Amino acid sequence: MNLRAIKPLHETQTRILDAAEELFMQHGFEGASMRMLTARAGVNLAAINYHFGSKDALVEAVFRRRLDPENAERIAELDRLEKASGGAPLAPATIIRAFVGTSLRMIQDEKKGGRNFIRLLGRTYTDPAKRIRALIGQLYAPAMARFKDAFAKALPELPREELVWRLHFMFGTLSYTLAATDTLELIAGCKPEDRYDAAVLESRLTAFLAAGLLAPVPQRTGQRATDESVKQAA
């Protein structure tokens, strides 16, 4: 999809990308300085500008290295599923599993970035910098359109606007689940053991998301929520 993603990398470039992936996650893009990055990578301070041109370009390279192959894989998986079904619409849970599974498989595969990149990614969806979010959105756009069509075909009776909102909710649940590290302990009061077991998490997430996607459509009365209406809803 993008030449940069498949161009063989110089070893120095790879070491810089690895260091950046880790330190961007720990300190954010502004917080991780070029001095920190090059020190961790064991290369010279000038190497980032030499190999990538600027710190901004490095940020983009960090995401391209992982996301271009990931989204290609995601789309290919959906293609395979649709071909296997022979034209019959796929079950919503199947489509969800294809999307979620690709992300979760990255957690267990260090060559695909592992847990560190997936957490960095989850955080970046809501980064303050608009250009960062725009970059992520651009890298996701083809896969997003492809999956939206698949869901629309699987749920022809669901109003298109409701579908869009629910995809938004689903994407949010996924990205937050991947990014968050503290809320779970806060709720649980302890550290669950299977937290990063991709297979178990995939089942939990798919069950939750599929139920939400198939929820009854709320009637739109347009009324404001008040303390009284909330109480009466009990």
Partner DNA sequence: GTCTATATCATGATAGAC
Partner DNA sequence: GTCTATCATGATATAGAC
- What's the token pair of residue 126? 């809501």
- Shortest distance (Å) from residue 233 CB to its own copies: 6
**Does 34 interact with DNA (rule: CB under 7 A)?**
yes
> Using CB distances below 5 to 8 A depending on partner kind, what does residue 157 bind out of its own copies, DNA, none?
none
DSSP state of 2: -
Could you give the string, one character per residue 11-30, with x where binding to DNA holds by CB under 7 A and - elsewhere? Answer: -x------------------
Q: Which of 1, 5, 36, 201 binds DNA (CB under 7 A)?
A: 36
Q: What is the DSSP letter of 223?
A: P
Report if residue 50 touches DNA, rule: CB under 7 A: yes
Please name the residues in contact with 65: beta carbons below 8 A apart, sequence gap of 6 or more: 5, 17
Complex with its own copies: residue 13 or 82, whichever CB lies closer: 82
Token look-up 């600027």 returns: 54
5 touches which of DNA, its own copies, none (CB within 5 to 8 A by kind)?
none
Cα→Cα distances 186→27, 101, 168, 190, 192, Å: 22, 26, 25, 8, 11
- Determine if 73 is a binding residue for DNA (CB under 7 A): no
231 binds, options its own copies, DNA, none, Cβ within 5 to 8 A by partner type: its own copies
Size of the site for DNA (CB under 7 A): 18
Asked if 104 and 194 touch (Cβ cutoff 8 Å), the reply is: no
Assigned token pair, 32: 């991780």
CB of 45 to DNA, least distance (A): 5
d(CA 78, CA 71): 11
* The entry of its own copies, DNA, none that residue 33 binds, CB within 5 to 8 Å by partner kind: DNA
By CB under 7 A, tell whether 44 contacts DNA: yes
- Rounded to a whole number of angstroms, the minimum distance from the CB of residue 232 to its own copies is 10
Cα–Cα distance measured from residue 41 to residue 219, given in angstroms and rounded to the nearest whole number? 56
Characterize 9-39 residue by residue with b for buried, 16 or more Cβ atoms within 10 angstroms of its Cβ, and e for exposed: eeebbebbbbbbbbbbbeeebeebebeebbe
Q: Which of 2, 14, 49, 181 binds DNA (CB under 7 A)?
A: 49
Per CB under 7 A, 39 contacts DNA: no
Residue 222, phi-psi category: left (phi > 0), alpha (psi -120 to 50), beta (remainder): left
- Which part of the chain contacts DNA (CB under 7 A), choosing from 50-58, 66-74, 140-148, 188-196? 50-58
Separation of alpha carbons 160 and 152, rounded Å: 7
Give the binding site for DNA (CB under 7 A): 10, 12, 33-36, 43-51, 54-56
